[in-house]
Structure 1
């Protein structure tokens, strides 16, 4: 036969165990939905200006890995320019990172003849591509929020209507 205090002990134990499971479940759910942070990197644009990921915090950022030899990159570039022009005044920054195999003179020529309005950076040793998760395919575009969290990674040309919605929401936040 159980002592009179046993049901209370069992109830208290059940409540504590239930709370512990709830907390652990919440932490597990949060870990599944936590967004990765932008790597701690420094970009150097074609003018020699350096921009660190820390300096870019507080802005919505697109980082687009591309190559002059990539037909999809070249095809999407006018839409990327339109996207930049549409959202830059609202706080969007954009860095086009040329892949390590792209000859710098090709990149410079492309950026100048197309009058690209955003920063274009070289990645001669491939360190930026490596820091962003071994980027191998072009185009690969990252959308990063004001806190430095990666919101989306696009491999290939993005759906621009989806991209614009994502940017609008990130810029409002």
Structure 2
């Protein structure tokens, strides 16, 4: 009985140390954002090389996703708040979303950022096989994925993160 009482704190400390080491390791080796190309609703072709030196928010969404539709005003507000500081947003509509619905949504809501339709599913695949919407990915100025949200983000925490990332050098 005494031995287990002594070993329990040691085991807990070992687990915590291992978790801290993994967290540190993941900070040291950020995942690079994939190289993708896409066409915006206005017909202009873009690719992720144009994101260099910017903090990017890539939002995977669908018009049929109630959480996506509900969070879109906050995505717009986030874009408006940070766009003058080297920040940009791309909304990527999922492959199953009818293009006419996406175009109508973007026009009726006056989305102030680029909207792409991932009609082949390749962009979602390159970003780690995104299937759930909304999924939002934050990319730093060095092209590294620093945060991935599945579901609506905590926008206050997201704004803090963006503010921090925008202050970093590229």
With structure 2 as the length reference, what TM-score do the two structures score?
A: 0.83
Q: How many Å apart are 1:43 and its aligned residue?
A: 2.0
Distance 1:29 1:162 in 2: 19
**3-state SS in 1 of match to 2:79:** helix
How do residues 85-164 of structure 1 correspond to structure 2 at under 5 angstroms? 85-164=80-159
**3-state SS in 2 of match to 1:162:** helix
Distance 1:146 1:49 in 2: 23
Residue 76 (structure 2) pairs with residue 75 (structure 1)? no
Q: Say which of 24, 38, 57 aligns to 2:52.
A: 57
Unaligned stretches of 5+ residues in structure 1:
1-27
CA RMSD of aligned residues (A): 1.3
Distance 1:147 1:153 in 2: 16
**3-state SS in 1 of match to 2:46:** strand
With structure 1 as the length reference, what TM-score do the two structures score?
A: 0.82
C-alpha distance 32-89 of structure 1, shift in aligned 2 (>3 A): closer
Q: Which has the larger radius of gyration?
A: 1
Q: Say which of 26, 31, 36 aligns to 2:31.
A: 36
Unaligned stretches of 5+ residues in structure 2:
1-21
Distance 1:60 1:134 in 2: 22
